[in-house]
Structure 1
Amino acid sequence: MAITKVWIEEGCTACGLCEEICPEVFKMEDEATVIEGVNYSDYEEAIQEAAENCPVEVIKFE
Protein backbone atom coordinates (compact mmCIF):
# COMPACT_ATOMS: atom_id res chain seq x y z
CA MET A 1 0.00 0.00 0.00
CA ALA A 2 1.55 3.29 -1.10
CA ILE A 3 0.96 6.22 1.23
CA THR A 4 -0.43 9.15 -0.75
CA LYS A 5 -1.72 11.42 2.02
CA VAL A 6 -0.46 12.31 5.50
CA TRP A 7 -2.10 14.70 7.96
CA ILE A 8 -2.15 15.65 11.62
CA GLU A 9 -5.46 16.01 13.40
CA GLU A 10 -6.19 18.44 16.23
CA GLY A 11 -4.60 17.68 19.56
CA CYS A 12 -0.88 17.71 18.70
CA THR A 13 1.17 18.26 21.86
CA ALA A 14 4.30 19.37 19.95
CA CYS A 15 6.44 16.63 21.48
CA GLY A 16 8.66 16.50 18.37
CA LEU A 17 8.75 12.71 18.14
CA CYS A 18 7.41 12.61 14.57
CA GLU A 19 10.11 14.98 13.33
CA GLU A 20 12.74 12.95 15.16
CA ILE A 21 11.51 9.74 13.49
CA CYS A 22 10.86 11.16 10.00
CA PRO A 23 12.22 14.69 9.42
CA GLU A 24 11.69 14.26 5.67
CA VAL A 25 7.91 14.38 6.21
CA PHE A 26 7.27 16.11 9.57
CA LYS A 27 8.38 19.58 10.67
CA MET A 28 8.12 20.98 14.19
CA GLU A 29 7.18 24.61 14.65
CA ASP A 30 4.52 25.65 17.16
CA GLU A 31 3.05 22.23 16.46
CA ALA A 32 3.88 19.44 14.05
CA THR A 33 3.12 19.99 10.38
CA VAL A 34 3.38 17.77 7.32
CA ILE A 35 5.80 18.89 4.63
CA GLU A 36 3.94 19.22 1.32
CA GLY A 37 5.27 17.90 -1.97
CA VAL A 38 7.10 14.93 -0.48
CA ASN A 39 6.77 11.52 -2.13
CA TYR A 40 5.30 9.88 0.98
CA SER A 41 5.67 6.38 -0.43
CA ASP A 42 9.47 6.82 -0.12
CA TYR A 43 9.07 7.09 3.67
CA GLU A 44 6.24 4.63 4.38
CA GLU A 45 7.96 2.76 7.22
CA ALA A 46 9.01 5.97 8.99
CA ILE A 47 5.53 7.52 8.60
CA GLN A 48 3.92 4.39 10.04
CA GLU A 49 6.44 4.37 12.92
CA ALA A 50 5.75 8.04 13.66
CA ALA A 51 1.97 7.41 13.66
CA GLU A 52 2.32 4.33 15.90
CA ASN A 53 4.54 6.19 18.38
CA CYS A 54 2.58 9.46 18.50
CA PRO A 55 1.57 9.81 22.17
CA VAL A 56 -1.77 11.45 21.28
CA GLU A 57 -2.42 9.40 18.10
CA VAL A 58 -3.10 12.39 15.82
CA ILE A 59 -0.91 11.36 12.85
CA LYS A 60 -3.04 9.87 10.09
CA PHE A 61 -2.24 8.56 6.63
CA GLU A 62 -3.81 6.75 3.71
Structure 2
Amino acid sequence: MNAHAGADAVAGWRVIASLAENPPMTISTAWIDEGCIGCGACATVCPQVFVLPMSDAEIAGSARADGLTGTNREQRSALHAHIVAECGDEIEEAAAGCPVDVIRLVA
Protein backbone atom coordinates (compact mmCIF):
# COMPACT_ATOMS: atom_id res chain seq x y z
CA MET A 1 0.00 0.00 0.00
CA ASN A 2 1.38 3.42 -0.88
CA ALA A 3 1.31 6.40 1.50
CA HIS A 4 -1.59 8.08 -0.35
CA ALA A 5 -3.77 4.99 -0.16
CA GLY A 6 -3.14 4.76 3.57
CA ALA A 7 -3.96 8.44 4.07
CA ASP A 8 -7.14 8.08 1.97
CA ALA A 9 -8.23 5.10 4.08
CA VAL A 10 -7.66 7.04 7.31
CA ALA A 11 -9.60 10.04 5.91
CA GLY A 12 -12.44 7.73 4.90
CA TRP A 13 -12.64 6.28 8.38
CA ARG A 14 -12.70 9.78 9.86
CA VAL A 15 -15.72 10.65 7.71
CA ILE A 16 -17.50 7.45 8.77
CA ALA A 17 -16.66 8.11 12.43
CA SER A 18 -17.90 11.70 12.10
CA LEU A 19 -21.19 10.53 10.60
CA ALA A 20 -21.60 7.99 13.40
CA GLU A 21 -21.07 10.73 16.00
CA ASN A 22 -23.18 13.32 14.13
CA PRO A 23 -25.70 11.48 11.96
CA PRO A 24 -27.64 13.53 9.38
CA MET A 25 -30.80 15.10 10.77
CA THR A 26 -34.10 13.41 10.01
CA ILE A 27 -36.42 16.39 9.82
CA SER A 28 -39.99 16.00 11.07
CA THR A 29 -41.20 19.58 10.83
CA ALA A 30 -40.11 23.05 9.79
CA TRP A 31 -41.45 26.53 10.37
CA ILE A 32 -40.57 30.15 9.73
CA ASP A 33 -40.09 32.26 12.86
CA GLU A 34 -40.88 35.96 13.00
CA GLY A 35 -38.34 38.21 11.35
CA CYS A 36 -38.29 36.82 7.81
CA ILE A 37 -37.11 39.51 5.38
CA GLY A 38 -38.56 37.83 2.30
CA CYS A 39 -35.24 37.52 0.47
CA GLY A 40 -36.27 34.22 -1.15
CA ALA A 41 -32.99 32.41 -0.49
CA CYS A 42 -34.80 29.40 1.00
CA ALA A 43 -37.23 29.14 -1.93
CA THR A 44 -34.31 29.26 -4.34
CA VAL A 45 -32.53 26.39 -2.58
CA CYS A 46 -35.61 24.25 -1.87
CA PRO A 47 -38.72 25.32 -3.81
CA GLN A 48 -40.47 22.03 -2.96
CA VAL A 49 -40.77 23.18 0.67
CA PHE A 50 -40.29 26.96 0.83
CA VAL A 51 -42.46 29.42 -1.10
CA LEU A 52 -42.74 33.20 -1.18
CA PRO A 53 -46.40 33.94 -1.98
CA MET A 54 -46.33 37.35 -0.30
CA SER A 55 -43.53 39.19 1.46
CA ASP A 56 -42.43 36.41 3.86
CA ALA A 57 -41.37 32.83 3.23
CA GLU A 58 -43.86 30.07 3.97
CA ILE A 59 -43.88 26.28 4.06
CA ALA A 60 -45.72 24.93 1.00
CA GLY A 61 -48.97 23.10 1.69
CA SER A 62 -47.83 20.31 -0.61
CA ALA A 63 -44.93 19.65 1.79
CA ARG A 64 -47.03 19.73 4.97
CA ALA A 65 -49.19 16.95 6.41
CA ASP A 66 -52.06 19.39 7.06
CA GLY A 67 -51.93 20.68 3.47
CA LEU A 68 -51.90 24.34 4.53
CA THR A 69 -49.46 26.88 3.12
CA GLY A 70 -48.12 29.22 5.79
CA THR A 71 -45.30 29.85 8.21
CA ASN A 72 -46.27 26.72 10.18
CA ARG A 73 -45.25 28.69 13.28
CA GLU A 74 -48.39 27.87 15.26
CA GLN A 75 -49.46 24.56 13.71
CA ARG A 76 -46.04 22.90 13.58
CA SER A 77 -47.49 20.45 11.06
CA ALA A 78 -45.19 17.59 10.12
CA LEU A 79 -43.53 17.51 6.74
CA HIS A 80 -44.43 14.63 4.45
CA ALA A 81 -41.87 11.83 4.81
CA HIS A 82 -41.37 11.59 1.04
CA ILE A 83 -40.53 15.31 0.90
CA VAL A 84 -37.94 14.92 3.66
CA ALA A 85 -36.50 11.84 1.93
CA GLU A 86 -36.24 13.67 -1.41
CA CYS A 87 -35.21 17.12 -0.16
CA GLY A 88 -33.75 16.73 3.33
CA ASP A 89 -30.33 18.08 2.37
CA GLU A 90 -31.87 21.06 0.58
CA ILE A 91 -34.13 21.81 3.56
CA GLU A 92 -31.10 21.87 5.86
CA GLU A 93 -29.15 23.96 3.33
CA ALA A 94 -32.00 26.48 3.13
CA ALA A 95 -32.14 26.78 6.92
CA ALA A 96 -28.37 27.17 7.20
CA GLY A 97 -28.36 29.79 4.43
CA CYS A 98 -31.14 31.96 5.86
CA PRO A 99 -29.52 35.39 6.37
CA VAL A 100 -31.74 36.18 9.38
CA ASP A 101 -31.76 32.63 10.84
CA VAL A 102 -35.55 32.27 11.12
CA ILE A 103 -36.02 28.79 9.63
CA ARG A 104 -36.54 26.25 12.40
CA LEU A 105 -36.14 22.51 11.89
CA VAL A 106 -37.09 19.76 14.32
CA ALA A 107 -35.86 16.20 14.10
Structure number with higher strand proportion: 1
Which consecutive residues of structure 2, in runs of 5 or more, have no partner in the other structure? Answer: 1-24, 64-79
Q: State the match for 1:46 in structure 2.
A: 90
Which consecutive residues of structure 1, in runs of 5 or more, have no partner in the other structure? Answer: none
State which of 45, 48, 51 in structure 2 corresponds to 1:21: 45
Q: Which has the larger radius of gyration?
A: 2
**TM, length-normalised to structure 2:** 0.54
Higher RCO structure (Cα 8 Å, ≥6 apart): 1
Structure number with higher helix proportion: 2
Are 2:61 and 1:36 equivalent residues in the alignment?
yes
Matched positions, count = 62
Q: Which runs of 4+ in 1 moved over 6 A?
A: none
Percentage of matched positions with identical amino acids: 39
**TM, length-normalised to structure 1:** 0.89
Alpha-carbon distance between aligned partners in 2 of 1:45 and 1:20, rounded to the nearest angstrom: 14
